[in-house]
Structure 1
């Protein structure tokens, strides 16, 4: 270890404790990757702070030594966000995992960044409340805010940015700020919540989040509707939304993916293009929504629709959907999962999914299409051999085709996974001159380019 690194480790141990600072090879390896196909790169040091003040002290030392800092939640990201390609310090927030306050009358909760989605919902259930954002993985709330996560329920409740009332953030110089307040709305000042949510650790480290929560609905019903073609399924979703049905979840799963669902989850669902649906509401309203939905999907040649009122059957349905990525991994041993992620205007979705299916087939790749189609977001789940450079090249070509198709039609290169390093190359094409505004914000808040360098914006030399 270099002398500067030894000095930094000793300095870190003075502001934290011996057990909160490590250079252990195994620990560093665990913090050098995420769930993506992107190349591994290890941090030099991993720290485990317990308070915002400790995070501040770590960042101050990093600033003093001009060492990069990368925030780390659970490493469930899919575009290399937490991989420290410039090495430096990884701040692991797993010890900052306290639910600080539940303000049930305000429908707010205050948490530390290491709290996971399931941990929060377990506590909120005591109050008849729940947190709505459901990306599938049991990610940390800090990580979900960093990538502006969304998932299956965003069609009704919105994405992560819609839930954040306030953030406590440690900036690059170690100062601590708050970005919002407890009020439901404000016309005061710049919208800092919106700026920091989705910033992927490039503008600051989140040490506390105040989030909006919801009352648990009186009744919940799920359904599974199968169709002869993908187009029928997507067009049915558009009609459901146009009808104003307040659907809580609407997920598309294509035919190859339904086969993987049945193999992995030991189910016997129809193996055609399928919509997984969920409705929240009171008994009378729910009955009307369900019947209206049945009429709509039948108008789009639905082959079969089955409603699940039993909790066990409903849970099995959504567990099967959430486990789909693992179903592909389990069903394709020796290959690595690569997930695309684009979002388009709902009117362009049917053509986009048809284009994606044709591209997967023409390139001879193994993969399925799934999506949170209620808000125009879809994914291609690809299984690729990381040792086969030709296959990797075809997968990257597919990703490029899908992204460019979305951008040309007013969409975005990522609906929920974030930019990380995987979508860096598309930033200028998507944002144009506004990308330079982002660069100026980054330079103002992080002049030495120490906070998660090389993510969202192209790497720059540190001053």
Structure 2
């Protein structure tokens, strides 16, 4: 099993490749004002929400079309220079960091909703469309896009990392919801995978291969995804518990009884205190479940009654129901701001985040021990969880100038992941591997599976130019 890292081994392996002046000149000639080597822009595109510090890329190209992406990759391929797709920079595991230098391709200007097929419940977008912009574009159709990772991430970035979030317990993740892709390969060729049909048995499933590949196998330039009818009735609720165990057991029973809950989120008492201070709220400072129910009015009432009865059995109290959009927004804003509340609770800190996921029956075993270890360590932390699907996050808040704090956080993270793997879970439920989880991939999948992944990478990207240095080491 992967052993805890010390501060001397926490930096990613940085092996910059020389980007020849001829490539920079060719990119400047082709892209003009869409190309920049300005230090400020390079630094902006060389940082995400992870705790890693890495030198920025050598240049930035602002793509405005599939042709732009294809041409940029073709030019980079001629010189075997790395290319890294960039969305909004909200990734948490170092996915977009230029550990081998190269060119950052900013996809934010590719922000068109290309086609809405409301009758088929599908939409096709460019990768720079954000999830909030997508929902604004489709709201007049009575449909919505349910994947909600919290941050207003781009659809391209969400597909690349196989994101999920608060609604995954009912609507699934990006894996289940992406139907088709347009992808630029390592040679600059443009291919299409999948169709708008609900299912297919035609050949290898290249769509699923690309979803979650973190830009290491191709750069997505169009994404076709599912939409869902807006529910007739929506109700949200919070319920507090005196113990974290009671909150977790309530969640387990809700899922095992098959209640079609749309969202089921957990905050521990420490995190509720942090959120209260950040958002000027007065939520009861105990373990808390935030839930949401979708369906017909009668169906929602039935779900609510059953969940309230389950929570009562586990000593839940201080129920608060939110029926209006404004009330629901207040509750979910508090949940979505938990990360920022945590970071601001310790001025100058950086957050080392985790996202283990386990089978629902083992949730208590994984989560309670992880929280207890964090509390015993003395390190500042927050804990939130998409517990309806067995996924939870610890955020360890460290002073980046104190190696001993980072050592402690990484030790806690390693123990958490090892615990999740022993319980039949995964080291990353939704963030992706990036840089931070590379050491755990072999522990989870086995050396043979990682070797197969490397073989796929070798076949599709023989010069290792697509987001190199991520997921696994590859020479």
Q: TM-score, normalised by structure 2?
A: 0.95
Query: For 1:320-360, what per-residue CA distance to the aligned partner results, in whole angstroms no more than 9, with x for missing partners?
Result: 00001111122211211221111011111101111101210
Question: Structure 2 residue aligned with 1:214, among 228, 248, 251?
Answer: 228
The alpha-carbon deviation at position 38 of structure 1 amounts to 1.1
Question: Structure 2 residue aligned with 1:15, among 10, 30, 34?
Answer: 30
- Specify the SS of the correspondent of 2:180: strand
Whether 1:306 aligns to 2:320 is: yes
1:95 — aligned with what?
Answer: 109
Structure 1 range deviating more: 432-441 or 130-139: 432-441
Name the CA distance, whole Å, in 2 between partners of 1:228 and 1:152.
23
1:183 — aligned with what?
Answer: 197
2:144 — aligned with what?
Answer: 130
Name the CA distance, whole Å, in 1 between partners of 2:19 and 2:153.
34
Alignment of 1:312-331 (within 5 A): 312-331=326-345
Name the CA distance, whole Å, in 1 between partners of 2:427 and 2:165.
16
The alpha-carbon deviation at position 3 of structure 1 amounts to 9.9
Alignment of 1:364-443 (within 5 A): 364-432=378-446, 433-443=448-458
Name the CA distance, whole Å, in 2 between partners of 1:437 and 1:5.
32
Runs of at least 4 residues of structure 1 off by over 6 A?
none
The alpha-carbon deviation at position 304 of structure 1 amounts to 2.4
Name the CA distance, whole Å, in 2 between partners of 1:452 and 1:221.
42
Query: For 1:2-55, what per-residue CA distance to the aligned partner results, in whole angstroms no more than 9, with x for missing partners?
Result: 996321122113332x11111000000101110110123210010011111111
2:365 — aligned with what?
Answer: 351
Which structure 2 segments of 5+ residues have no match? 1-16
In the alignment, is the contact (CA less than 8 A) between 2:19 and 2:81 conserved in 1?
Answer: no
2:12 — aligned with what?
Answer: none
Aligned pairs, how many?
458
Name the CA distance, whole Å, in 1 between partners of 2:196 and 2:228.
15
The alpha-carbon deviation at position 150 of structure 1 amounts to 0.3
Name the CA distance, whole Å, in 2 between partners of 1:368 and 1:33.
22
Report the CA distance shift for 1:381/1:3 in structure 2 as closer, same or farther (over 3 A): closer
1:272 — aligned with what?
Answer: 286
Name the CA distance, whole Å, in 2 between partners of 1:313 and 1:434.
47
- Specify the SS of the correspondent of 2:265: strand
Report the CA distance shift for 1:390/1:201 in structure 2 as closer, same or farther (over 3 A): same
2:21 — aligned with what?
Answer: 6
Structure 1 range deviating more: 369-378 or 326-335: 326-335
Alignment of 1:25-424 (within 5 A): 25-424=39-438
Query: For 1:252-272, what per-residue CA distance to the aligned partner results, in whole angstroms no more than 9, with x for missing partners?
Result: 000000001111111111100
Report the CA distance shift for 1:412/1:10 in structure 2 as closer, same or farther (over 3 A): same
- Specify the SS of the correspondent of 1:395: helix
The alpha-carbon deviation at position 193 of structure 1 amounts to 1.2
Which structure 1 segments of 5+ residues have no match? none
The alpha-carbon deviation at position 243 of structure 1 amounts to 1.7
RMSD over aligned CA atoms reads 1.2
Name the CA distance, whole Å, in 2 between partners of 1:32 and 1:386.
18
Name the CA distance, whole Å, in 1 between partners of 2:33 and 2:211.
31
Name the CA distance, whole Å, in 2 between partners of 1:318 and 1:292.
22
- Specify the SS of the correspondent of 1:342: coil
Name the CA distance, whole Å, in 2 between partners of 1:422 and 1:381.
14
Whether 1:445 aligns to 2:460 is: yes
Report the CA distance shift for 1:4/1:73 in structure 2 as closer, same or farther (over 3 A): closer
Name the CA distance, whole Å, in 2 between partners of 1:28 and 1:22.
8
Q: TM-score, normalised by structure 1?
A: 0.97
Name the CA distance, whole Å, in 2 between partners of 1:357 and 1:24.
44
The alpha-carbon deviation at position 458 of structure 1 amounts to 1.1
